[in-house]
Chains A and B, each alone.
Chain A
Amino acid sequence: MLKPPVWKPEIAWYFFSGGLSGASAVLALGARVAGNRALARSALAGSLLGAAVSPPLLISDLGRPARFLNMLRVAKPTSPMSVGSWVLAGFGGCAAAAAAGEFLGLLRPLGRLAEVGAAALGLPLSTYTAVLVANTAVPVWHESRHELPIVFGAGAAASAGALATLLTAAPDSGPARRLAVLAVLVEVAAVAVMEHRLGPLGEPYREGRAATHKQVGAVLLLGGAALLALGRRRRLALSLGATMVLGGALSERFAIFRAGNPG
């Protein structure tokens, strides 16, 4: 008989904050290359925010929080959690250096280099958590291993686009809105494919808290994307739409978390 995971809801929050943070760094680099400084600043702020809240969420879930540094005791490619710990540690340093350069004017050339580093590490940061849960004996997670990374990556991009939309004035937030809308469509499609391929093994998504989270998530994601797509440059519509996409991406993470960990 399998034992269910012992992870607390902090881990579902981290799926969200880690993905948001990682994809925000990619968006920031895109904005920098495109010369959209306002958007780059918003996305950098988003990546810093996610990088700041993520470690406390992870540490509080440990059975022995005082031993969190043991996560960096070895580097093990067979353990997605070990890989992720190193990625998060490196990402945190890059995000902090990038933010120091942009917002405080400290060591600006180094900060620009750190933006590239944060974007490069942001890609695995946005997706490794899917590998982490798929790499278990839990059937609903393991048997969706071909879809979960797409769902997580798309959810990360959607939330990064949404947060940057919230933090940026409408004339400059166009790419963030487009990213959010595009990513929502990919995420919703990937979730549908995942459920279809799971078949009877997808039962956990049709009952209890996982089902509620999934339904709420789908409504918020699609409704929010519609507002972002049709809201033109109306502040209220865009803010509401972005908030809905953020809530939807979070809710979808909770659905996946609860499907394998009914708690």
Chain B
Amino acid sequence: MATQPRMGFFTDSSICIGCKACEVACKEWNGLEADGLDFLGMSYDNTGRLGADSWRHVAFIEQRSAAGDVRWLMNSDVCKHCTEAACLDVCPTGALFRTEFGTVVVQDDVCNGCGYCVPACPFGVIERRERDGRAFKCTMCYDRQRSGLAPACSTACPTQSIQFGPLDELRVRAQGRLAEVQAEGAQGARLYLADDDNGVGGAGAFFLLLDRPETYGLPSAPRATTRDLAGMWRTAALAAGLIVAGVAAAFAGDRR
């Protein structure tokens, strides 16, 4: 039996038309509730951000040049399924786990809603659903993948802006696509998280962006907090040593 390759998403924002079919297909398949009919006043984006009930989020960014021309950037954001996933590292119950597809998934029958994964994620993806108490995020349609299907969002995407497949194939394809887009004159085009050389050791979901990551609300230098954990424990050991020294000193000077 062939080994299962790591699966991924390549989201090519240069051909995203902002239709939000991915958001809708995700909600339909995963049974996610609407999170309010709120008018955010942010271009055509009324989803705003990824959250417990929004596992895909199409960002709309309107840029106006000095000459008054308007450029419209659209990008469908999603959980990055990091190689070094801080959410998974800090989860105390083992509810978050690494699947056979290399993705990161919450087991909702185990999660006890401690909330640690929420501030651990360097992208602000995972969120606790307050009426439910547990944490939720994109599973890269774990159930569909186990049945040999592609995730709902990539299946619904009408322009192939969201591509699903073995990660190493997607990475090769993305390099070719970047060269094409640059040859067509997109100066700011770049790949985001398309290799292992970043603070999260690579990502199962990566992007072709037309501007700096910050423009899309993505961190330019994300870092898995757990990379610094050993040093923190060393400082804690030093602090524990200080407590022992303090108690010893307190008794050394005892003149009862």
Contacts and interface: CB of A to CB of B under 8 A. Distances in A.
Interface of A: 1-7, 23, 26-27, 30-31, 33-34, 36, 61-65, 67-68, 70-71, 73-74, 76, 78-82, 85, 123-124, 126-128, 130-132, 134-138, 142, 145-150, 152-154, 156-157, 161, 171-172, 174-176, 178-179, 182-183, 186, 260-261
A81 B246 contact: no
Nearest to A84: B92
Interface in B81-140: 86, 89-95, 110-116, 118-128, 130, 132-135
B254 A157 contact: no
Contacts of A76: 89, 91-92, 94
B232 A36 contact: no
Given A62-B133, A78-B226, A171-B256, A137 B249 contact: no
A5 B49 contact: no
B32 interface: no
Contacts of A81: 90, 92, 114, 116
Contacts of A23: 243
Contacts of B250: 27, 30, 161, 175-176, 178-179, 182
Contacts of B86: 137
A176 B246 CA distance: 10
B216 to A, nearest CB: 10
Interface of B: 49, 86, 89-95, 110-116, 118-128, 130, 132-135, 217, 223, 225-226, 228-229, 231-233, 235-236, 238-240, 242-244, 246-251, 253-256
A25 B246 CA distance: 13
Contacts of B231: 145-146
B122 A27 contact: no
Contact of A4 (B89, B119, B253, B255): B119
B89 A78 contact: yes
Contacts of A27: 247, 250
Contact of A126 (B49, B92, B123, B240): B240
B112 A150 contact: no
B244 A3 contact: no
Contacts of B112: 62-65, 67-68, 70-71
B229 to A, nearest CB: 6
Contacts, number: 211
Contact of B243 (A31, A80, A123, A128): A123
Chain A interface mostly helix, strand, loop or mixed?
helix
29 contacts: A2-B123, A5-B118, A31-B251, A33-B251, A63-B130, A63-B133, A70-B112, A71-B112, A74-B93, A76-B91, A79-B116, A126-B243, A130-B236, A134-B232, A136-B225, A137-B86, A137-B120, A138-B119, A142-B228, A145-B228, A149-B238, A153-B236, A157-B247, A174-B254, A175-B250, A178-B250, A178-B253, A179-B247, A183-B246
A147 B239 CA distance: 9
A219 to B, nearest CB: 22
Contacts of A128: 236
B86 to A, nearest CB: 7
A63 B92 contact: no
A64 B217 contact: no
Given A74-B94, A80-B90, A85-B92, A63 B132 contact: yes
B119 A178 contact: no
A79 B236 contact: no
A182 B229 contact: no
Contact of A179 (B127, B128, B225, B246): B246
B111 A2 contact: no
Contacts of B232: 80, 130-131, 134-135, 145, 149
A131 B236 contact: yes
B238 A150 contact: yes
Nearest to A4: B119
Q: In the A-B complex, list the 3 residue pairs whose CB atoms are closest, starting with the nearest.
A: A63-B113, A63-B133, A153-B239
Q: Which of A23, A34, A176 has the most CB of B within 10 A?
A: A34
Contacts of A137: 86, 119-122, 124, 223, 225
A174 B242 contact: no
B104 to A, nearest CB: 14
Contacts of A123: 240, 243-244
B151 to A, nearest CB: 23
Contact of B90 (A79, A148, A150): A79
Given A67-B112, A135-B232, A145-B231, A153 B90 contact: no
Contact of A142 (B94, B133, B225, B233): B225
A152 B239 contact: yes
A31 B248 CA distance: 10
B244 A1 contact: no
Contacts of A5: 115, 118-119
